């Protein structure tokens, strides 16, 4: 199945302003290329042929660099007239799809096996399949809990924990999941909302959220320390990719 990938690429990168000025966060340079370049390299390696970029801040910088095709991947753009939050961005972009899609954040890299996540989504008959990462000694991310069958049953706020599972920000889902929420609420979803807070956390007991743990490489470039770290990490992982 030709499963498209939605990439949320509208972030401002406010915490990186000292090192990345006047660029959308996914365009932050990593060894001379935008961070987003490496996501496209990863998607190509994973066999993805079509991408939808949800763009907003400085969208023209992304369009002019990546065009309509990049690294053999066809690109559609869904531009936000104003910031819509992660939920609004996904909701708008996924309207262009006819079936399941991968969803990725444009400022994180989680080297998961997308086909394995997709097969997990099908096997579990999930509304949304989440990629999870096990971390130790952190306070930057909220955590989540699974039951014995692997279903997500609760989310916890950010706090210092010695060990826990985090949401890695790579999903498989379809627009029908939003439809289920709208049927439950008996009204359309708002134009602007948070996917994490207003969908996953609020409706964890209603939607079938299935979590698959991957121990693969994960990084979020949202803070200067990890933005610096990714320069070395990607040089080792990708070398001089075209």
35-45 and 59-66 helices, crossing angle to 10°: 50
Distance from C-alpha of 166 to C-alpha of 157, rounded to nearest angstrom: 11
Which pLDDT score is estimated for 197?
93
Domain range for 202: 5-238
Q: Quote the distance between the C-alpha of residue 193 and its chain's center.
A: 15
Model pLDDT, residue 17: 64
The proportion of the chain whose per-residue pLDDT surpasses 70, expressed as a percent, equals 94
**Helical H segments across 51-129, by residue range:** 59-66, 85-94, 114-123
| Rounded CA separation 34/55 (Å) | 15
- The H-assigned helical ranges of 10-84 are 35-45, 59-66
Angle at 168 between CA 230 and CA 86, to 5 degrees: 100
- Measure the N-to-C terminal CA separation of the chain; round to a whole number of Å: 27
Q: For 144-184, what is each residue's pLDDT tens digit?
A: 999 999 899 999 988 898 999 999 999 999 999 999 999 99
Q: Quote the tokens at residue 17.
A: 């302003």
Report the domain count for the chain: 1
Q: Model confidence over 55-89: pLDDT tens digits?
A: 988 888 999 999 999 999 999 999 888 888 999 99
Residue 147 backbone dihedrals phi, psi, to 5 degrees: -85, -175
Q: What is the pTM of this model?
A: 0.94
Q: Which residues pair with 173 in a beta bridge?
A: 101, 128
> Three-state DSSP class for 156?
strand
64: CATH: 3.90.550.10
Q: Which of 199, 161, 160, 194 is nearest to 179 (CA)?
A: 199
């Amino acid at each position: 199945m030709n499963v498209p990938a939605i990439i949320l690429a509208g972030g401002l990168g406010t915490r990186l302003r000292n090192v990345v000025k006047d660029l959308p966060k996914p365009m932050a340079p990593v060894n001379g290329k935008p961070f987003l370049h490496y996501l496209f390299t990863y998607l190509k390696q994973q066999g993805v042929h079509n991408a939808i970029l949800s763009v907003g801040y400085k969208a023209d910088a992304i369009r002019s660099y990546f065009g309509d095709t990049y690294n053999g991947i066809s690109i559609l753009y869904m531009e936000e007239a104003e910031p819509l939050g992660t939920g609004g961005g996904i909701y708008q972009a996924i309207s262009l799809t006819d079936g399941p899609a991968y969803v990725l954040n444009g400022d994180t890299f989680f080297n998961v096996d997308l086909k394995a996540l997709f097969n997990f989504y099908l096997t579990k008959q999930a509304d949304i399949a989440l990629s999870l990462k096990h971390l130790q000694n952190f306070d930057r991310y909220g955590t989540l809990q699974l039951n014995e069958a692997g279903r997500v049953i609760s989310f916890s706020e950010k706090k210092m924990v010695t060990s826990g599972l985090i949401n890695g920000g790579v999903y498989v889902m379809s627009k029908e999941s939003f439809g289920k929420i709208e049927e439950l609420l008996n009204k359309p979803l708002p134009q602007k909302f948070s996917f994490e807070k207003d969908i996953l956390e609020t409706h964890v007991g209603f939607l079938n959220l299935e979590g698959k743990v991957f121990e693969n490489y994960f990084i979020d470039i949202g803070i200067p320390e990890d933005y610096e770290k990714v320069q070395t990490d990607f040089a080792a992982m990708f070398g001089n990719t075209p």
